[in-house]
Amino acid sequence: MTLHAGIVGLPNVGKSTLFNAITQAGAEAANYPFCTIDPNVGMVEVPDLRLQKLADMVHPKKIVPATVEFVDIAGLVKGASKGEGLGNKFLSHIREVDAIVHVVRCFEDPNVVHVEGSIDPKRDIETIDLELILADMESIERRSERTNKLLKMGDKKAGAEAELLNRLKDTFNQGKGARALTFSDEEREILKGFSLLTLKPIVYVANVREDGLATAEDNPYVQQVRAIAAAEGAEVVVVCAQIEAEIAELEAEEKEVFLQDLGLEESGLDQLIRVSFHLLGLMTFFTSGPMEVKAWTIYQGTKAPQAAGVIHTDFERGFIRAEVVSYEDFVENDGLNGARDKGLVRLEGKDYIMRNGDIVHFRFNV
């Protein structure tokens, strides 16, 4: 599976610049609203030092990293849920992603216009949130009509759905999104059919000036974003989109030196991917052999047969068992044979819950 993240925000906050930087896809970035009409899509590799270490030991013909798909969704404006700007089209693009990356402008620059005429992260976030809430309210109203018809027909299952819909309506009317609520397992199953925008996990990206990374904690705009994120249990990544663009053009060794000069341990992209994985409860397992070493993305708590199904549906359908060794044991014992000699390679069955960094060979029969 591939993580799909949609980059959203008001016009001219740095969305397309950030997208260009992290995907090197050449999406158009210009100083006027609605530059991005159709969403640009770009794939970026998930940085994982473990993958290269495995490749150095196994010497495969090919190395295949996990990937994240970033979608640069055009700038929303006030009234988007009612079709203002190019709103409805943009909102439909957001429904298709796993997580929202909300870019918020946290810098002053008279040469870059702001659609509202001033810099105010709190206002900007509330503008986007309101449009997503209004869009969800419209969806819920349509769903309620269908549910009420089922209730009149005596459908017992419709009762739980109607109760949930009423909870959502009350929350939306208070100006809060679905993320503000907690749900039972039964409600979460019902919610899968709703495609709510305000239920999607969100990462706020505070975009600062080139000289603003070192002083980000003193930036009042960044502090506004952090306060909002803390209140709703969201994550914040502080980046400078312009610097990310420079980093994207560097080779690995040059990148490391560049980051050290800036006093940074990792790039904004690396932070964003790490935070997004954590937010969505994702992790990585590996397959390793002479043909290829490959990283696979799964949800935490995934059992072995379902992990096998990520590789191929036949693997899940005909699953017999999984031959598993941890990344640490693999490396510390010079590979699979050394780990096997130490009794560290395990045969696991259908109930085995995958662990981050597992190196697996699936046995199956179809």
Residue 79 zone, left/alpha/beta (φ > 0; ψ -120 to 50; rest): left
d(CA 328, CA 209) in angstroms, rounded, equals: 40
How far apart (Å, rounded) are the C-alpha atoms in residues 318 and 366? 5
Query: Are 249 and 147 spatial neighbours (Cβ–Cβ below 8 Å)?
Result: no
Q: Distance (Å, rounded) from C-alpha 278 to C-alpha 107?
A: 27
- Answer yes or no: is 333 a known binding residue: no
Q: Is residue 16 marked as binding? A: yes
15 known member of a binding site: yes
Task: Quote the tokens at residue 316.
Answer: 């899940």
Contact assessment for residue 138 and residue 82, using Cβ atoms and an 8 Å cutoff: no
12 assigned ligand-binding residue? yes
Separation of alpha carbons 293 and 58, rounded Å: 8
- Could you tell me which residues are annotated as the binding site for ATP? 12-17
- Could you tell me which residues are annotated as the binding site? 12-17
